[in-house]
């Protein structure tokens, strides 16, 4: 229970279904002296506890601050320092919610972890439709593929609310984690969820949705990083290597970014976009955004650290690959290379594929797993 409306209603639904439920809040990060990042954790704990009290269930605050630093913040800072783009929200699910929190829960005899994620679990009824609600997701360019029927009840599907679907953040979960995960609100649209929370009189029914990175609250990633990664100015160059300006540190820019580059475009209504980082020269490469801008669009890439939520992806196949949150999944040919790596060839060029970012792999609306972009080829 994060203190938000989604996990509040998820808990209420489980209680109503007759499960033996305990609420838990993970304390990952507090606003220590000198460290920027406002996380309204005290208010969140108060709200989560109030909902637990209202539902008549036990409630625990689990202090995982040390583990969070070790498993998420370290990965985040090391990633930015080495010039790649990490995704702490994806790692938080694998390492924290379904990692150390699951260890904590297992030790105490719990059988599952439920969250307020917009995602759905399947059901293994041979020869019949999956029990998931018809996904109202429209962002997928899906084609039917092979289905491993014996794992269907543990399979994770996109949330019914296409605008809220959070399966991208679950892409790096392991089979054991997918097995014990429950998503009680994944069949609902957000307005329906708020209506139900109001009907039940939950304190959090009208609480504003949280924004941004979970542990740094409303603070921009850029401001957070400033406190940990020293500024490291270097040249901003164009595709021909001409110096156009100075950047403050490669970690402060994202590939595909147009705002905040600080170099005025000479062309009316045509913006510069960050197309590459060259850590060895500390160069940020920018170009005018066009449908065919070199280094901005690519079809071929290599994935590493492949992780699957069910059976391993052993054979070559076509699947749907989502290169970032809030971006449609594109059809792609996936060819395993061994040792957790694969080649991925999109059928259509994708904008700003980014080393280090997570690529979530789907078969239609079913989450197969995820991987890190290792390298991108431009041809
Ligand atoms: N600090 C936390 N302690 C326990 N569970 C958490 C915590 N943060 C997030 N979660 C769980 O992960 C889910 C997704 O987290 P996210 O930060 O995306 O929240 P959200 O979608 O805004 O949901 P909510 O409305 O419940 O805050 C939450 O619904 C909750 O079940």
Topology agreement, domain 5-216 and domain 230-253+257-288: no
Task: From 342, 331, 350, select the one nearest 370 (Cα to Cα).
Answer: 342
In this structure, is the dihedral angle defined by the CA atoms of residues 98, 101, 105 and 106, taken in order, positive or negative?
Answer: positive
**pTM summary value:** 0.90
Is the minimum distance from the CB of 52 to ligand 1 under 6 angstroms? no
Pocket test for ligand 1, best of 1, 3, 5, 7 (most atoms within 8 A of CB): 7
**The predicted structure's pLDDT at residue 123:** 58
**The predicted structure's pLDDT at residue 355:** 92
Torsion of CA 308, 312, 318, 323, to 10 degrees: 20
Tally of CB atoms within 10 A around 285: 22
Strands 341-351 and 297-308, sheet pairing = antiparallel
Task: Assess if CATH 2.60.40.1230 describes domain 297-377.
Answer: no
Is the minimum distance from the CB of 1 to ligand 1 under 6 angstroms? yes
Pocket test for ligand 1, best of 4, 63, 164, 183 (most atoms within 8 A of CB): 4
Residue numbers in the known binding site are 26, 116
CATH class held by domain 230-253+257-288: mainly beta
Spatial distance between the Cα atoms of 122 and 87, rounded to a whole number of angstroms: 26
The two three-digit tokens of residue 189, written as one number: 């649209």
Q: 216 to each of 7, 39, 165, 254, how far by Cα in Å?
A: 19, 6, 22, 18
2 Cα: distance to centroid of ligand 1 (angstroms): 5
Is the minimum distance from the CB of 210 to ligand 1 under 6 angstroms? yes
Look at ligand 1, atom 17, and give the residue with the nearest C-alpha: 214
Q: Are 298 and 311 in contact (CB under 8 A)?
A: no
Q: Are 284 and 245 in contact (CB under 8 A)?
A: no
Is the minimum distance from the CB of 64 to ligand 1 under 6 angstroms? no
Is the minimum distance from the CB of 177 to ligand 1 under 6 angstroms? no
55 Cα: distance to centroid of ligand 1 (angstroms): 18
Q: Break the chain into its structural domains and give their ranges.
A: 5-216, 230-253+257-288, 297-377
Pick the atom of ligand 1 nearest to 44's CA.
1
Look at ligand 1, atom 7, and give the residue with the nearest C-alpha: 2
Question: In 3-state terms, what secondary structure has residue 118?
Answer: coil
332 Cα: distance to centroid of ligand 1 (angstroms): 31
In tens digits, the chain (379 residues) has pLDDT values of: 999 999 999 999 999 999 999 999 999 876 554 555 555 778 899 999 999 999 999 999 999 999 999 999 899 999 888 888 899 999 999 999 999 999 999 999 999 999 999 999 985 333 334 445 554 444 444 444 444 444 478 999 999 999 999 999 999 999 999 999 999 999 999 999 999 999 999 999 999 887 655 555 555 677 778 878 888 999 999 999 999 999 999 988 989 999 989 999 988 888 999 999 998 999 999 999 999 999 999 999 999 999 999 999 999 999 999 999 999 999 999 999 999 999 999 999 999 999 999 999 999 999 999 999 999 998 7
Look at ligand 1, atom 23, and give the residue with the nearest C-alpha: 6
Query: Which DSSP category does 140 fall into?
Result: B
**The predicted structure's pLDDT at residue 129:** 43
Is the minimum distance from the CB of 161 to ligand 1 under 6 angstroms? no
Q: Taking the mean position of all CA atoms in its chain, how far away is CA 294? A: 27
Is the minimum distance from the CB of 105 to ligand 1 under 6 angstroms? no
Spatial distance between the Cα atoms of 347 and 331, rounded to a whole number of angstroms: 6
**The predicted structure's pLDDT at residue 217:** 54
Q: In this predicted model, what pLDDT tens digit does every residue of 120-163 receive, in sequence order?
A: 998 533 333 444 555 444 444 444 444 444 447 899 999 999 99
90 Cα: distance to centroid of ligand 1 (angstroms): 12
**The predicted structure's pLDDT at residue 215:** 58
Strand-by-strand arrangement of the 234-237 sheet: 243-247, 234-237, 283-288, 272-278
5-216 topology per CATH: Rossmann fold (3.40.50)
Residue numbers in the known binding site for ATP are 26, 116
Strands 341-351 and 330-338, sheet pairing = antiparallel
Contacts of 112 (CB under 8 A, 6+ apart): 180, 181, 182
8 Cα: distance to centroid of ligand 1 (angstroms): 9
Q: What are phi and psi of 10, to 5 degrees?
A: -55, -45
**The predicted structure's pLDDT at residue 29:** 77
Catalytic positions, please? 92, 214
Per-residue buried b or exposed e for 168-201, using 16+ beta carbons within 10 Å of the residue's own CB: bbbbbbeeebbbbbbbbbbbbbbeebbebbeebe
Is the minimum distance from the CB of 4 to ligand 1 under 6 angstroms? yes
Mean pLDDT of the residues in the chain: 88
Is the minimum distance from the CB of 207 to ligand 1 under 6 angstroms? no
Residue the block writes with tokens 């309204």: 40
Contacts of 186 (CB under 8 A, 6+ apart): 117, 118, 119, 120, 121, 132, 157, 159, 160
**The predicted structure's pLDDT at residue 211:** 63
Pocket test for ligand 1, best of 62, 115, 196 (most atoms within 8 A of CB): 115
The CA-CA-CA angle for residues 366, 368, 372, to 5°, reads 130
33 Cα: distance to centroid of ligand 1 (angstroms): 25
Half-sphere exposure of 190 (CA within 13 A, CB side): 13
């Amino acid at each position: 229970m994060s203190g938000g409306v989604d996990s509040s209603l998820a808990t209420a639904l489980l209680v109503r279904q007759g499960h033996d439920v305990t609420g838990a809040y993970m304390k990952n990060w507090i606003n220590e002296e000198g460290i920027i990042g406002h996380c309204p954790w005290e208010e969140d704990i108060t709200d989560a506890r109030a909902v637990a009290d209202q539902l008549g269930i036990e409630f625990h605050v689990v202090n995982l601050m040390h583990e969070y630093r070790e498993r998420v913040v370290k990965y985040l800072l090391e990633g930015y320092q080495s010039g790649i783009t990490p995704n702490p929200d994806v790692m938080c699910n694998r390492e924290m919610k379904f990692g150390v929190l699951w260890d904590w829960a297992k030790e105490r005899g719990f059988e599952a972890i439920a969250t307020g994620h917009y995602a759905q679990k399947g059901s293994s009824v041979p020869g019949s439709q999956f029990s998931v609600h018809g996904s109202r997701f429209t962002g997928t360019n899906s084609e039917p593929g092979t289905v491993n029927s014996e794992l269907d009840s543990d399979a994770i599907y996109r949330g019914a609310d296409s605008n809220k679907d959070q399966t991208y953040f679950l892409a790096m979960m392991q089979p054991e984690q997918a097995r014990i995960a429950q998503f009680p609100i994944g069949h609902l649209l957000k307005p329906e969820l708020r209506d139900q929370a109001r009907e039940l009189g939950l304190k959090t029914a009208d609480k504003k949705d949280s924004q941004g990175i979970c542990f740094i609250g409303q603070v921009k990633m850029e401001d957070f990083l400033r406190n940990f990664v020293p500024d490291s100015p270097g040249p901003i160059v164009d595709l021909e290597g001409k110096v156009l300006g100075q950047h403050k540190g490669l970690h402060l820019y994202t590939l595909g970014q147009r705002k905040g580059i600080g170099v005025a475009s000479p062309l009316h209504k045509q913006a510069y976009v960050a197309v590459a980082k060259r850590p060895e020269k500390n160069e940020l490469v920018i170009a005018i955004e066009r449908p065919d801008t070199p280094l901005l669009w690519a079809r071929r890439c290599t994935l590493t650290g492949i992780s699957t939520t069910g059976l391993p992806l052993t054979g070559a196949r076509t699947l749907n690959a989502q290169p970032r949150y809030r971006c449609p999944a594109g059809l792609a040919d996936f060819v395993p290379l061994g040792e957790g790596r694969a080649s991925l060839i999109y059928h259509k060029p994708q904008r700003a594929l980014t080393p280090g970012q997570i690529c979530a792999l789907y078969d239609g609306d079913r989450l197969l797993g995820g991987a890190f972009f290792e390298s991108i080829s431009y041809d």
